[in-house]
Chains A and B, each alone.
Chain A
Amino acid sequence: MQNVDKIDNGKNLFQHPEYRDVLANKKQFEGAWGAIDKEKVAEIAEWTTTWDYREKNLAREAITVNPAKACQPLGAVMVALGFENCMPYVHGSHGCVAYFRSYFTRHFKEPTPCVSDSMTEDAAVFGGLTNMKDGLKNCAAVYKPDMIMVSTTCMAEVIGDDLYAFITAAKEEDGGVDLPESFPIPYAHTPSFVGSHITGYDNMMHGTMQQLTEDQKGETKERINIIPGFETYIGSLRAVKTIVEKMGADYIMLGDHSDQWDMPAGEYNMFAGGTKLEDAKDCINSKATISLQKYATPKTMKMVEKRWKQKGSTTCNPIGLKGTDEFIMKLAELTGNEIPKELKVERQRLVDAMQDSYPYMHGKKFAIWGDPDFLIGVVSFLLEMGAEPTHVLCHNAPRGWEDEMRALLDTSPAKDTLNVWAGKDLWHMRSFLFTEPVDFMIGNSYGKELMRDTGTPLIYMGFPIFDRHHLHRYSLSGYEGALNMLTQITNKVLDQLDEETKGIATTDYFFDLIR
């Protein structure tokens, strides 16, 4: 029973003896194996750690267990929230939108606006035109956005709804009351059964850029476009902007959700920050475009090259020391500006910090998973520190990624022990962690169960992160980001060292005060 002076919640309440009895007593009715045959459970648990199990696990062809990817429309919603006063609109059932909003909200601890046109069975039979006509009109009337960005769910894709025709019909029917002819409604088809959330990001960014810039081609301006990609670190967006500004470049960030998912307290406005609509339209006239995530923007960058004909457009991955160096040199090349001393000092401070802490990362084995561009960046940094990325797992690896990662790992002296796992899930990772253990894992919240099962310490990095706070506020990009990663990883190594040496009169001879 509770004691009013010290009310326990579930964490301690269920340890009270009366609860231990009730929970033990429940087992007689359960029929779960743990209740019937504990030895069998222990035996199977042990078997799941073996090479035999690993081989069976790798032979899987149909079932995915604990994936490390999500579906297209999620990425499309992220694109929309990076533009000023833009409402993401998902053509399909509202269940999906409830999921996208919850998923982002749980990660960022921020509101995530997004509407759907709530398609149900009748729409499945007759198509979603009526929903689109009413939905666009209601959305414009109620939320008064300056732009609505339409993506689709798998439902709309399976029945084959035609977005262009539907949007045109909705505008016609509205007659310009809430949706004037000029009201921008970029759209993209984002079927959930193709690719992953980064594919959806690319499709929506491509659709938006293509549609908004139509008939906007004019004189080329001394300006650079930056496309961040599926970037979940608000701090990274800001760090990149700071670098570009320090380089004295005129720029447009295409899809900047750093204010939208980092709203100040005091009052609530549904939309905050984002790329201005006039900038989005004019970006075709910038001299070049840099995408910070190659694998999240292939279609978009192809358009930049082929249609916009922007020479010098490229991809950079400004994570880690070398990645940031390359990004800055690219900016220098494009702008013709000198790299300011300030950035050089910042770089030297990072190098100094890397030299201070390298012994704790050098030779340590890491398992890491996440999106393809994130992995290229963070693995580069690990290698710069002399660490060994033993298992690099990318569930949503696009074509070409595996080769690029392999080539990167081959630059390590430990290359023969480093593995790339494209298209594998986190249940595969569990097997790898048992059969070829590592010292630390780097990954999102889904690593929590791997941490519990295998005992490998987890360094939280990536997306989604539900159970740790504020990490997304920091940067992973730029020299600042590298310093953040260095701090986070080194101190986790030190935490672990302390953990292993804290045994009183047993291991604490190594429990050093100064490290």
Chain B
Amino acid sequence: MGPESLEAKQKAAIEEVLKAYPAKAAKNRAKHLGVGSPEDESQKTCGNVRSNKKTVPGVMSQRGCAYAGSKGVVWGPVKDMVHISHGPIGCGQYSRAGRRNYYIGTTGVDTFVTMNFSSDFQEKDIVFGGDKKLAVCFEEIDALFPLNNGITVQSECPIGLIGDDINATSKVYAKKTGNTIVPVNCEGFRGVSQSLGHHIANDTVRDYVFDGNVETLGDAIEPTEYDVAIIGDYNIGGDAWSSRILLEEMGLRVTAQWSGDATLKEMAQTPKVKLNLLHCYRSMNYISRHMEKEFGIPWVEYNFFGPSQTYKSLRKIAAFFDEKIQAKCEEVIAKYEPMINAVVDKYKPRLEGKQVMLFVGGLRPRHVIGAYEDLGMEVIGTGYEFAHDDDYKRTKDEIMRSTVIYDDVNEYELEAFVKKLEPDLVASGIKEKYVFQKMGLPYRQMHSWDYSGPYHGFDGFAIFAADMDLAINSPVWGYSKAPWETEGEA
């Protein structure tokens, strides 16, 4: 199939999809769908799509909420703090351990990531307010979990609606105990997706971790010339560890990891680093910009998916440092290159030419494109749940050919696009997974690595390649039709 015909097919698919909607919804959705073209310089965002707007009511959006952004992404994985899901029981339970933010620690004693702490609001708390209950929650947590290094309050919808003052309650308790208590007003109805929750959470890091009196637990970290922080790698299945190993091998010292396997002290000491390394731009650009402005720390985006991007990113990072680091960077690349080449040699023949459609959260819709291409695969459709325009601008640099771009795609649209464009692999989240598997389409969850991984770094790429191979080349996809059914018959 030539590029022209693919593009025509992609445009036709969008037109067809829009027909199902009533006029008002169609007009809205038309702005969020487009065909990205690398050659078309007039495109301001990839496919000229608009983003970060309200979801059309009544459709099956894959988006989450501000609470999910703060509790599930930014604060939840900070391991030595207790994060209270403040409000009714559901939000905390549904988000419990759903994200694979790996960490090392004794859960329930000095680390708490996979636990669920809830103030379990009842009707009387809605009527009379829950501030007093929250204050008791703080005390009980400190009594039963004395080795916690702080508490955050993750507000659910009712908190903002009934006007509880979690900030004052937190302040009183923080003053009394000297502990770090962070109130986060991340009610789910705020904003249009989890994205605002990231921003709100970033602001609380700024206000309570940097400007607060965070006690240095253990010895203060003596700065060196080569200190860096990993920001926005949530350690899904250990991604940050497989990234960290490369940075340390090239002579850098990773003094903080945000926020998978993260601790409060690491975050508090980040303003001492020489460079912030930002992996998930969407969720953590705010705090990185703040550190640049306030502490003069430069930040650089990097991408550790797939060798091409990893080589590029390692060199980009090394360029901030001296020749020694740059030389070691080349050594690291040289060390891993044979392994990477062996992985590509093994898997590319099995995957070459296969087409992929992606739909994920904040960075992966563009970051993983290179990793697929390293294996000879092509991404023919991609989009984000909660990106902003700057993400779609960045996406434009990553696509190689015409690509359907769908912002806040809902299940009806994604299903229609997949049926029309017939990719060999769909890579998206849990809610969509079984829809495509039912159709007999190979599928990988790109939020959780389908419980495999890590996928970051060179070691991660080997796993990524092996996983894509097992997805696409599994014999199970061939069994849908019974042997007694003839071709073309359902």
Contacts and interface: CB of A to CB of B under 8 A. Distances in A.
Given A26-B257, A94-B61, A61 B94 contact: no
A56 B143 contact: yes
Interface of B: 20-22, 24-25, 54-68, 79-80, 84, 87-96, 98, 102, 104-111, 114-123, 125-126, 133-134, 136-137, 140-141, 143-144, 146-147, 149, 156-158, 160-162, 188-192, 194, 216-218, 221, 237-238, 241-242, 244-245, 248, 254-257, 261, 263-266, 269, 335-336, 339, 342-343, 346, 411-412, 415, 430-440, 452-454, 458-459, 462-463, 465-466, 479-481, 490
Given A105-B431, A141-B21, A453-B108, A120 B189 contact: yes
Contact of B435 (A14, A111, A134): A111
A69 B118 CA distance: 11
A278 interface: no
Given A31-B218, A41-B110, A102 B94 contact: yes
A456 interface: no
B80 A33 contact: yes
A98 B263 contact: no
Interface string A1-16: 1111001111001100
Contacts of A353: none
Contacts of B452: 9-10
Residue from A44, A113, A132 with most neighbouring chain B CB atoms (10 Å): A44
Given A32-B111, A138-B57, 12 more contacts: A22-B241, A22-B245, A33-B149, A102-B94, A102-B431, A115-B58, A116-B57, A142-B21, A155-B157, A268-B415, A268-B439, A427-B108
A265 interface: yes
Interface stretch (A186-194, A218-226, A228-236, A368-376): A186-194
A131 interface: yes
Contact of B90 (A25, A63, A93, A96): A96
Interface in A109-127: 109-121, 123-124
A78 to B, nearest CB: 14
Given A1-B336, A1-B458, A121-B190, A266 B440 contact: yes
B434 A110 contact: yes
Contacts of B453: 9-10
B483 to A, nearest CB: 13
A106 interface: yes
Contacts of B439: 266-268
A-B interface, 3 closest residue pairs, ranked by CB to CB distance from nearest? A95-B65, A31-B265, A71-B90
Given A63-B140, A154-B157, A192-B88, A141 B22 contact: yes
Nearest to B87: A154
B433 A31 contact: no
A57 B141 CA distance: 10
Contacts of B108: 48, 427, 430, 449, 453
Contact of B147 (A44, A60, A103): A44
Contact of A154 (B62, B158, B431, B458): B158
Contacts of B158: 154-155, 158, 193
Contacts of B462: 2, 4, 7
A456 to B, nearest CB: 15
Contact of B110 (A34, A110, A177): A34
Given A154-B156, A192-B88, A22 B119 contact: no
B217 A26 contact: no
Contacts of B192: 118, 120
Contact of A159 (B91, B94, B161, B465): B161
A40 B94 contact: no
A65 interface: yes
B111 A34 contact: yes
A118 B121 CA distance: 23
A134 B56 contact: yes
Given A33-B80, A89-B58, A124 B189 contact: yes
Interface residues of A, number: 111
A192 to B, nearest CB: 4
B270 to A, nearest CB: 10
A7 B438 contact: no
A125 to B, nearest CB: 10
Contacts of B106: 34, 41, 45
B241 A35 contact: no
Interface in A123-169: 123-124, 131-132, 134-139, 141-143, 153-155, 158-159
Contacts of A28: 221
Given A7-B462, A153-B157, A19 B241 contact: yes
A63 B415 CA distance: 42
Contact of B144 (A60, A94, A102): A60
B237 A93 contact: no
B435 to A, nearest CB: 5
B117 A63 contact: yes
B263 to A, nearest CB: 4
7 contacts: A13-B463, A29-B266, A45-B106, A48-B109, A98-B63, A138-B25, A266-B440
A1 B339 contact: yes
Contacts of A73: 90
Contacts of B58: 89, 115-117, 134-139, 142
Contact of A95 (B68, B92, B342): B68
A187 B465 CA distance: 48
A63 B265 contact: no
A32 B143 contact: no
Nearest to B93: A70
Interface centre among B122, B438, B466 (most CB of A within 10 A): B438
B10 to A, nearest CB: 21
A10 B66 contact: no
